[in-house]
Structure 1
Amino acid sequence: MDIVIVDTGSANLTSIRVAIKKLGYHSIITSEPSIISKSKKIFLPGVGTASSVMNLLYKKNIIDVIQKSKQTILGICLGMQLFCDFSEECNGVKTIGIIKSSVLRLKNNNLPLPHIGWNQITFHKTHPLFKKIPNNSRFYFVHSYIVPINKYTLSKTNYGIDFSSVIQKNNFFGVQFHPEKSGKIGSQLLKNFLEI
């Protein structure tokens, strides 16, 4: 199976590739649109700012490839947020526009930002992405911006307020946490995604 990790210039690319390799799959890190468009599975990771990653995706002509993607694609952390159409980050950034939602700064109610560490995800119905993952399982988060609860929300997490921790629209999946840093439970989620 051809698995691509989109090279967004992020720091977590290698850790995602290692996590996928531990599951017995081979992946490549690339920003080449022709390779991305021919792959079977796509990972869109993101660390840093929405504007810096969007600029890189524009320069490499990857935005159009993602928007027209028919294969399953998993956005991780900032990668998930980029599926929305706007982010409040950096005085406002137009993002990829798969999901009609704005990404908002986390209203933390005096809790420290960024939200760093282990937190629970809560889901209300079974889904192939949650196979062998108990409800209220804990995953590792690092973020200051959120996707609000919307009709594409599969699970929510609370940090002062509820926000989307897993979303899906058609072939587009997103997780706000880092499965590659979430131990066995994160590995199970990656396995589930690769088997969808």
Structure 2
Amino acid sequence: MSNCNNNCQKYCCRCNQSPCCCPGPKGARGPIGPVGPRGDTGPANGLNAYGGAFYSNVDTILHLPDHNDKPLPLNSAMTAALNVVNSPVDSLTVKVAGDYEIYYYFSATIDVTAFVNFSVTVNGSPLSSTFQVLLPEKNLITGTVIVSLNANDVISTNIFGFTFINIKLSPYVSTILTVKKLNA
């Protein structure tokens, strides 16, 4: 310790040895090393299943028979889709299991004062949280619901009437159905 001065004593690496070895000034940065191997692919970021369909036509009238369900038409697939197909007719099929947000839109007018029930269905079974009633004064139905779906589940929109009813679909876009997988 006799060769160490008080200023560098706390920095000395070998103060019990002579001569004292206080650190010097910081040196220049060394060269960059080689790139390491590529790591494993991580979990998917963003949506890994999404898609939708809509119905677009002018002057379409649906004839809803007594006490019968009728699927709403979805004749056009949206251009962007991943793991969702517009099949079978008038429906969407998800190819990956998970939690999905389903968005639905329906616009039409009915020719009589009657109740027309609307619902989103999964494999033909209505989702009770999507039940809505179309009335002459209420001709727009829209909403979202979050549900767990299995691979190959089929989603559609249906209407049901208690008597024969003619339903005139709104011009241009009258029905929209989209799905987005929320979990990775």
Alignment TM class, shorter chain as reference: under 0.3
Instruction: Tell me: higher relative CO, structure 1 or 2? Use CA pairs within 8 A at least 6 residues apart.
Output: 2
Larger radius of gyration: 2
TM-score, normalised by the number of residues in structure 1: 0.25
Question: Greater strand share, 1 or 2?
Answer: 2
TM-score, normalised by the number of residues in structure 2: 0.26
Question: Greater helix share, 1 or 2?
Answer: 1
